[in-house]
Chain A
Amino acid sequence: MADDLERPGGDAEPEAPPHAAPPSIWPFAFALGIAVALIGLIISWPIAAIGGAIALVFGFLWIRDATREVRGTPSPAPPARDDEAVELEDETAARYPRSVFLEGATLGIGALIGGIVTVPALGFAVLPAFVDQAYDAVDLGPLDNFPEGEWRITKFKSVADEPEDVSRRTAYVRNNGTLDGQASFTIISNRCVHLGCPVQPQGLTAEEVTEIDAESGPVEITATEPSGFVCPCHGGAYDIEGNRTAGPPVRALDRYAYSIMDGRLVLGEPYSVGSVEGEGAEAQITAYKIADPGVHVDGLEQYFYPYVP
């Protein structure tokens, strides 16, 4: 039985070839297009468009190749509707109207019940992460704790009703004096804009810590004299205004909006920064709505991410 490849008696039957797409070179070009598009998304939009176009063209060619067999078989012409056929058809259709109805009803009611259960559950799983997201205002205490021209490390509770371990955040605060009669502060978030590790001030930090029991939670204030900020994770480095000077981060450090109420410094929403020119009160900041670390904010991306609906 050495070359008994076929079933006994198989000779008589016509053999169907496997239903597999014929070999095609297009998938390679298609994959190349996808790769170019992805790289383009990161480095430049025109390249992404070129990649997308390549993928589209060769994807089309590939699909055309792969479906040739299917499309090639002409669909059988509808049988001539002579009387006999019509009669037969009517007969089949009319034979079990009730079973057809029951089948439809079972499927329909099943789908309805499934939908009623699934849709709210899915919504509950996904939506809370996106809607009603807001940043609580944080009281950082009396202005006396922030002498003009000096940096302070502030640690505070960012969300009122979450355990402290989870919601403790750090920001670097500098009192810039006044600009046009208004108090000016630079408040830099310690979240590295590479991938989110906590950036550290470069320079001496005082040992003494001022603790305040503010309404929004406890605040710790420590004096420091940084010459810039560095990240422990992958060596990202920033200058004193938060501009990137080295390493993988893609933009300047995020900042916090602020207000002054009853002589106390109050932290507002964080926002992202493309770059900063100038220093202190005079600094020109290109501000964008808060974005995740690693995301560029000054290109097309700013329109692409409707961040908090």
Chain B
Amino acid sequence: MEALVLAPVNWLEERSGIVGAISYFLFRKVPRGTNWFHTLGSATLTAFIVQLVTGVVLAMYYVPDPDRAWDSINWITNELTLGWLVRGTHRWGASVFIILLFLHMGRVFLFGAYKYPRELNWLIGVAILLLAMLEGFTGYLLPWDQTAYWATVVGININATAPIAGPFIADFLRGGTEIGADTLSRFYAMHMLLVPGALIGLITLHLYLVIRLGVTPPPWGEDAEPDEPSPNGRPRGAREGLVDPKPRGNGGPAITTRSGVEE
């Protein structure tokens, strides 16, 4: 029986190494004191995936045409089976996603997890945050009702007041000097293709760095960063081998911390 289950797994592992990679990811060592606050990143990721899935389904029924956009939204909400649920999930989920982003960012900030060697991941996070807000802004226009239209007018004009670049950003967003049919199509293209694509790329980099560098322990407890520099000059919590002057093999999953993990 066990062999039956394992056979396909082994088959896959032998040809791709994927099983080892996944179990390395799932069973990697984390510092003592890792707690619920560390789940905010994964929660954000979950919210993002929910947006992707519901968004793809909505795109099957939504029509990005000034004459029909509102009707198609109305149709999705009131006529199509379960349309209200999927649209509602996407709409409320958008807020959940942004809120979780800020909570995750706050956790990283308060734990001092943006410090060496994780500065780059903070910067990637900032890019993610900006793109996430652009995603919200472009999505808000799509229902094409009065709220959407005027909120977008005001939003674009706020962009226009930025020094120097403002008017150009506004023209780019509108696709011209006035809001029109082009505005709706380009907002739709940005909302469903450009920005999500960029987000997926950045999230991949983000998670790669999280796995490569390990997570930061909370500022309290045994593993916390002491005031005096660590005796060997290495940052705590980082996976060993990364800041080692001499690279050692593949780095290995071992973590050496004060609490001592066997090598």
Q: Hey, which bits of chain A sit against chain B, CB under 8 A?
A: 1-8, 10, 13-18, 20, 38, 41-42, 126, 128-130, 133, 135, 158-159, 162-163, 165-167, 195-197, 233, 290-295, 304-305, 307-308
- Complex contact A16–B245 (CB within 8 A): yes
CA distance A162 to B231 in the complex (A): 70
Complex CA gap A304/B163 in Å reads: 9
A130 to B167, CA, bound (A): 11
Q: Tell me whether B172 and A167 are in contact (CB under 8 A).
A: no
A197, B153: Cβ atoms closer than 8 Å: yes
Q: In the complex, A3 Cα to B180 Cα: how many Å? A: 67
Residues of B within 8 A of A197 (CB): 150, 153-154
Q: When the two chains form their complex, are residues B166 and A16 in contact, meaning their CB atoms are under 8 A apart? A: no
The 22 listed contacts between A and B (C-beta, < 8 Å) are A4-B256, A5-B231, A6-B232, A7-B240, A13-B246, A18-B233, A18-B234, A128-B175, A129-B175, A158-B178, A162-B181, A166-B66, A166-B181, A195-B154, A195-B157, A292-B157, A292-B161, A292-B166, A292-B167, A293-B160, A295-B160, A307-B167
CA distance A167 to B167 in the complex (A): 20
13 more A-B contacts (CB under 8 A) besides A293-B160, A294-B160, A295-B161? A2-B258, A5-B257, A6-B256, A18-B235, A128-B176, A128-B182, A129-B171, A129-B175, A162-B66, A165-B66, A233-B154, A294-B161, A295-B167
B153 touches A195 (CB 8 A): yes
B54 nearest CB across to chain A (Å)? 27
Interface size class for chain B? 35 or more
A4 touching B260 by the CB < 8 A rule? yes
Contact A7 B230 (CB under 8 A): no
Asked if B232 and A163 make an inter-chain contact with CB atoms under 8 angstroms apart, the answer reads no
**Interfacial chain B residues near A196, Cβ < 8 Å:** 153-154, 156-157
A166 to B65 CA separation, bound complex (whole angstroms): 11
Chain B residue numbers with a CB within 8 Å of A41 are 163-164
B66-85 contacts to A, CB under 8 A, are: 66-67
The answer to whether A133 and B66 have CB atoms under 8 Å apart is no
Instruction: Please state if B234 and A163 are interface contacts (CB–CB under 8 Å).
Output: no
Question: Residue B116 contacts which of A20, A195, A304, A307 (CB distance < 8 angstroms)?
Answer: A20
**Residues of B with Cβ closer than 8 Å to A?**
66-67, 115-117, 150, 153-154, 156-158, 160-161, 163-164, 166-168, 170-172, 174-182, 184, 230-235, 240, 243-246, 256-258, 260, 262-263
Among A17, A20, A165, A308, contact of B177 (Cβ-Cβ < 8 Å): A308
Q: Which of A13, A42, A293, A307 has the most CB of B within 10 A?
A: A293
Residues of A within 8 A of B115 (CB): 20
Q: A4-B256, A291-B167, A292-B167 are in contact. Are A167 and B180 (CB under 8 A)?
A: yes
How far is A219 from B171 in the complex, measured between Cα atoms in Å?
27
* B234 partner residues in chain A, CB cutoff 8 A: 15, 18
Task: Kindly state the separation between the CA atoms of A224 and B26 in the bound complex, as whole angstroms.
Answer: 71
A195 in contact with B158 given A158-B178, A292-B167 (CB within 8 Å): yes
Interface-central residue, B179, B180, B246, by most chain A CB under 10 Å: B180
Smallest CB gap from A20: residue in B: B116
Asked if B167 and A10 make an inter-chain contact with CB atoms under 8 angstroms apart, the answer reads no
